[in-house]
Structures are given as structure tokens and as C-alpha cells.
Amino acid sequence: MTTPALTPSQTVGPFFHHALLREPLHVLAGPGAAGERIRVEGTVYDGDGAPVPDAAIEIWQANAHGRYHHPADTRDLPLDPAFTGFGRAGTDADGRYRFETVKPGPVPFDAAAAQAPHIVVTVLARGLLDHLVTRLYFAGEPANDADPILQRVPADRRATLLAARAVAGGETVYRFDIVLQGKSARAEGETVFFALGR
């Protein structure tokens, strides 16, 4: 009897730009959206510190009042019709991405605690068998010190989740680089990713 040949393993993609990025979804805040308008931008790096030119980044966040644009969020807070809450962007040839959004408000963790303003970030890229999920927190935000999720991250790794604020051309910009693996001369260290449902 002949032993069947095994199919060799292969990495996933690259197909994200063609399959997931048909329509531009990098603008979450339309004209008249409530809150502080911000731009989130950064570069995705691989384990060698090289930019990843064909990754897809998705973000999900609450609006400026702290309410999600989702039927499960029934809290008595304003639902902003000019704000979608979800965005998707691809990286360019230099691994860069950007979103136009608003700074989110705080959301509850449980009945006793609140979460600091944050954005959930999902990364899909060639070579990943599963997507990666992390959070973007805002550097200098006083609520970070009590955020129950951020406090579970080892203190020496929390900086990888903090977006640095700057002003460019009159716009507030938060820089959030994503390092997929390891350390390199071009990046400080691997971004903290969360194991969800595992």
C-alpha cells in the first residue's frame, strides 16, 4: 500500500489588498462627527524590522461618548450617525497605514470599573495563519493607570500599546507602529497581542 503524499505547508496570502480592500474604509468620522478628530498612523514591521507592504489593519472603537455602533450596545449614550466605529486600511509599499477617526470615550469593563479610551486593532498579513489582535491606548491618558486590561500587561511591555501624540499640519496625530515579532534596530520590540477565545 502506498502512503499518500502530504501537501506541503504554505503561508497565507498575499491576498488581503485584493480581497479585503476593495472600498476605502480608513475614514471612520464623517463631517460633523462629535469629538476630537484624530489621525492614527503607523508602520507595520516584521521580525527583521522590515516594513510589511501588504498587511490589512482593522480597527473597532467606541465613539466620543463611549458608545459602540453595534446593536448589542444599548446604553443610554448618544449614537453618532456621522461615525461608523469600524475601519480597514492596507499598508502601502513602505508598510504605512492611516485612519481618520475621533478619540473614543471610555467604556465600561464591568459594573465597577471603566476601560481607558482605546481602539481595538486587528492585523492580517502574509504568513499569519490567524489574525492578531491588540489595543491602541493613548499615551498620557490619565485613565490608563486604572485600565483593567492594560494593567494585566507586564509593565515593561505596556509601551508597545501606547500611541504617541503629535501635531502635524494642524491635525492631532497618534503614531502607533506595529511590530509583528521580536526586536530589531528599527523597532523597539514586539507589540503585545492578545489571545482571544483560546
pLDDT for 143 beyond 70: yes
Q: Give pLDDT, residue 116.
A: 97
Distance CA 102, CA 84 (A): 11
Distance CA 173, CA 103 (A): 10
pLDDT grade for 178, boundaries at 50, 70 and 90: very high
pLDDT grade for 197, boundaries at 50, 70 and 90: low
Q: Give pLDDT, residue 195.
A: 84
14 preceded by a cis bond (ω within 30 of 0):
yes
Domains and CATH numbers, the chain: 16-179 (2.60.130.10)
Q: What pLDDT digit, counting tens, does each position of 11-49 carry?
A: 555 555 555 555 678 999 999 999 999 999 999 999 888
Q: Give pLDDT, residue 33.
A: 97
Q: Give pLDDT, residue 159.
A: 95
Query: What is the CA angle 143-131-19, rounded to 5?
Result: 120
User: Phi and psi for 173 in degrees, rounded to 5?
Assistant: -120, 135
Q: What pLDDT digit, counting tens, does each position of 82-120 carry?
A: 999 999 999 999 999 999 999 999 999 998 899 999 999
pLDDT grade for 81, boundaries at 50, 70 and 90: very high
Structure letter (DSSP) for residue 20: H
Query: Comparing C-alpha atoms, which of 56, 55, 44, 59 is closest to residue 180?
Result: 44
